[in-house]
């Protein structure tokens, strides 16, 4: 388990982008500071578009020793040699099935929202991390903050050894609260990709803020 005072950065792609144009931005972001994982999230993409995006990004991401996971597509993740998959609304059976396809050394993460029951089921089934949120209002998904998110993160850190990711509206200015609650990773989307000075500056700002919490 990652020590709560050594919280790491977990990036998620924007929900829509041109792969050829986006790959250099990913390179810029990952070159700017340590990123533990990058999740490819294209909720509206068909299989062909998702495959094209994954092929464009995988080498860039893994070239920085950053784990590369795909949201929701277990077989595609296995086929393309990704490091794992992130599952939304996953049951214990879904987690076990993903591990069977991808291998026991793969990464299988699960969104628990703020459900302690779903998080426990995922962790006991072999998930490598669970995520809780939204911690703050998130424009990326158009959701308000869930007041139960921070308490779920704190509870999880006290009860379980499986790492957890804090998600939703996290920026360099507000990440102290989820880190102090016990998050092992903080998830960033717009704080990096929409940073006015570019994604590299976004990662550097988050990295400085994380260091300040230690």
* Encoded tokens for 7: 């919280």
Q: What is the pLDDT of residues 97-117, one digit of tens each?
A: 999 999 999 999 999 999 999
Question: What pLDDT is stored for residue 6 in this prediction?
Answer: 87
> Which domains are seen in the chain, by residue range?
4-212 (3.20.20.70)
pTM above 0.85, yes or no: yes
Question: What pLDDT is stored for residue 4 in this prediction?
Answer: 44
- The answer to whether residue 3 scores a pLDDT higher than 50 is no
Q: What is the pLDDT of residues 135-194, one digit of tens each?
A: 999 988 889 999 999 999 999 999 999 999 999 999 999 999 999 999 999 999 999 999
CB 85 within 8 A of CB 77: yes
pLDDT band for position 92 (cuts 50, 70, 90): very high
Which of 10, 11, 6, 9 lies closest to 212 in space, CA to CA? Answer: 6
- The answer to whether residue 2 scores a pLDDT higher than 90 is no
Close Cβ partners of 26 (under 8 Å, ≥ 6 residues apart): 13, 38, 57, 60, 61, 199
Convert 64-93 to b/e letters by CB count within 10 Å (16 or more is b). eebbbbbbbbbebbbebebbbbbbeebebe
Per the document, the length of the chain is: 214
Which of 22, 63, 65, 21 lies closest to 40 in space, CA to CA? Answer: 22
154: number of Cβ within 10 Å? 18
Question: What pLDDT is stored for residue 89 in this prediction?
Answer: 84
Which of 44, 118, 53, 60 lies closest to 87 in space, CA to CA? Answer: 118
């Amino acid at each position: 388990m990652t020590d709560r005072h050594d919280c790491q950065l977990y990036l998620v792609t924007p929900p829509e982008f041109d792969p050829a144009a986006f790959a250099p931005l990913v390179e810029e972001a990952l070159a700017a500071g340590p990123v533990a994982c990058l999740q490819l999230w294209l909720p509206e993409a068909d299989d062909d578009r998702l495959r094209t995006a994954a092929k464009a990004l995988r080498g860039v991401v893994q070239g920085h020793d950053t784990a590369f996971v795909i949201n929701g597509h277990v077989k595609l993740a296995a086929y393309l040699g990704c490091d794992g998959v992130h599952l939304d609304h996953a049951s214990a059976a879904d987690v076990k099935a993903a591990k069977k396809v991808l291998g026991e050394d793969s990464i299988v993460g699960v969104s628990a929202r703020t459900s302690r029951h779903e998080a426990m089921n995922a962790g006991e089934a072999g998930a490598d991390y669970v995520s809780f949120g939204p911690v703050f209002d998130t424009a990326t998904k158009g959701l308000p903050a869930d007041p139960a998110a921070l308490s779920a993160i704190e509870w999880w850190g006290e009860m379980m050894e499986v790492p957890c990711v804090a998600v939703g509206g996290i920026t360099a200015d507000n990440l102290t609260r989820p880190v102090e609650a016990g998050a092992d990773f903080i998830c960033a989307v717009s704080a990096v990709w929409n940073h006015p000075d570019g994604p590299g500056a976004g990662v550097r700002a988050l990295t400085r803020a994380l260091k300040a919490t230690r």
